[in-house]
């Protein structure tokens, strides 16, 4: 797994909502000096764009009609990336519960998935650092099934709910937990991110703190580096 200036090393990470995919992957990328790609941000930004255009996100054909005008930009710097749709910075807006509540409707549309997967592969190929850590739901199985290191990052539902409620001040723990469970249920109908596919290593962070989880992921990457030379 040596640095090839043309093909960055890809680390693929999947997992359910609140498992730590984005925060842990970002820190792993930062420690390696590699890029980081949060693929969920694109589905969220498209949900934001559809809503901004007055489109009903439950109507697949209307969502598809928004793809042509979806001018999406995201950086891969793990120390501070921004998300733009056109000239609007939507980095914060796409994290609002209103977007989390409808993003699965957008993500289940096959044309949307095909469009965004192409975009992710282009971003991965354009990475100029030695590697890129890419996280989402179908990275280990669809977006980058040949990645040398593939990880399913998980944690018990109870722990994931507690971690998510701790960061969402002003929202009840019950509502936050309900939303997380509903999103996983909807997303699971489209891709399987609860079970590790063949060759994918599971990192269960239920009993690990943040730093231990980062180290566990780095161990998997180091093992893959030894395996693939």
Ligand X SMILES: Nc1ccn([C@@H]2O[C@H](COP(=O)(O)O)[C@@H](O)[C@H]2O)c(=O)n1
Ligand Y SMILES: Nc1ncnc2c1ncn2[C@@H]1O[C@H](COP(=O)(O)OP(=O)(O)OP(=O)(O)O)[C@@H](O)[C@H]1O
Do β-strands 72-74 and 83-85 pair in parallel, antiparallel, or remain unpaired?
Answer: antiparallel
Who's near 17: CB < 8 A, 6+ residues apart? 160, 164, 180, 183, 184, 187
Does residue 17 bind ligand Y (CB under 6 A)?
yes
When asked if residue 188 is in the footprint of ligand Y (CB under 6 A), the reply is: no
Q: Does 207 bind ligand Y (CB under 6 A)?
A: no
21 DSSP assignment? H
Return the number of the residue (44 or 49) whose C-beta is nearest ligand X. 44
Per partner kind, with CB cut-offs from 5 to 8 A, the member of ligand Y, ligand X, none near residue 218 is none
Spell out, one character per residue from 23 to 62, where the chain touches ligand X: x when CB under 6 A holds, - when not.
Answer: ----------------xx--xx------------------
Query: What distance lies between CA 110 and its chain's CA centroid?
Result: 18
Would you count residue 44 as binding ligand Y (CB under 6 A)?
no
- Residue 82 CA to residue 217 CA, distance in Å, equals 24
- Rounded least distance, CB 135 to ligand Y, Å: 7
Partner whose binding site includes residue 39, from ligand X, ligand Y, none (CB under 5 to 8 Å by kind): ligand X
Strand order in the sheet with 201-204: 35-38, 131-136, 9-14, 149-154, 201-204
16 is in an annotated binding site: yes
Q: Which does 105 bind (CB under 5 to 8 A by kind): ligand Y, ligand X, none?
A: none
Feature table: binding site: 15-23
């Amino acid at each position: 797994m040596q640095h090839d200036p043309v093909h960055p090393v890809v680390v693929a990470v999947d997992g359910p909502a609140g498992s730590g995919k984005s925060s842990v992957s970002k820190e792993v990328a930062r420690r390696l000096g590699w890029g980081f790609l949060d693929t969920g941000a694109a589905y969220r930004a498209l949900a934001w764009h559809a809503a901004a255009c007055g489109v009903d996100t439950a109507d697949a054909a209307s969502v598809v009609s928004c793809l042509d005008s979806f001018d999406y930009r995201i950086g891969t710097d793990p120390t501070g990336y921004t998300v733009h749709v056109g000239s609007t910075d939507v980095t914060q807006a796409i994290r609002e519960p209103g977007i989390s509540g409808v993003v699965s409707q957008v993500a289940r549309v096959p044309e949307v998935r095909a469009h965004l997967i192409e975009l992710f592969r282009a971003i991965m190929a354009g990475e100029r650092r030695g590697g890129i850590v890419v996280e989402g739901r179908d990275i280990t199985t669809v977006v980058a099934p040949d990645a040398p290191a593939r990880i399913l990052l998980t944690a018990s539902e109870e722990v994931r709910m507690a971690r998510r409620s701790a960061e969402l001040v002003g929202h009840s723990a019950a509502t936050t937990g309900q939303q997380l469970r509903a999103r996983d249920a909807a997303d699971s109908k489209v891709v399987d991110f609860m079970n590790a596919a063949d060759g994918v290593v599971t990192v269960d962070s239920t009993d690990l703190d943040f730093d231990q989880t980062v180290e566990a992921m780095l161990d998997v990457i180091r093992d893959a580096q030894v395996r693939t030379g």
